[in-house]
Structure 1
């Protein structure tokens, strides 16, 4: 799995959300550095689970669409005397 990399704006937004969560849900103030450290930790240790689940979800959608396309081809077939 490739490393999970965020753009600067994405990282800023995620860090902001982490800080808001800690403030609202845990009544704790979390500094910028600590929030970034937490994001990096979860990206490294947990990110692969989300990444893999996302791939599995995308694969399931693609398989479903391919089944629909395959069925459409069968519907288009013309009956011939040979088969």
Structure 2
């Protein structure tokens, strides 16, 4: 399976968000390279955890919707 791949625009947005986070929360400026390396780490090592949780959430949602469909079944009278 292919890993998570961001478009150039998505990567730029993520790098800017990381840099903003460091400046706002830690009062520390980091370079584009440092933010990119952190983003790569997050995608590689943390991304699969988030992805797997999203799959579990989607499975739960779909299961609930399928249960709703089964509740629409009409009872059979057994008569012809």
| TM norm structure 1 | 0.88
Residue 26 of structure 2: aligned partner? 26
Flag structure 1 segments of 5+ consecutive residues without an equivalent.
Answer: none
- 1:68 paired with 2:68, answer yes
RMSD over aligned CA atoms reads 1.5
Q: CA offsets per residue over residues 41-71 of structure 1, 9 Å max, x none?
A: 1111111100000000001000000000111
For residue 46 of structure 1, give the secondary structure of its aligned residue in structure 2.
helix
For 2:7 and 2:55, locate their aligned partners in 1 and report how far apart those are by CA, in whole Å: 21
Matched residue pairs, number?
80
Match of 1:45 in 2: 45
Deviating 4+ runs (over 3 angstroms): none
Give the TM-score taking structure 2 as reference length.
Answer: 0.91
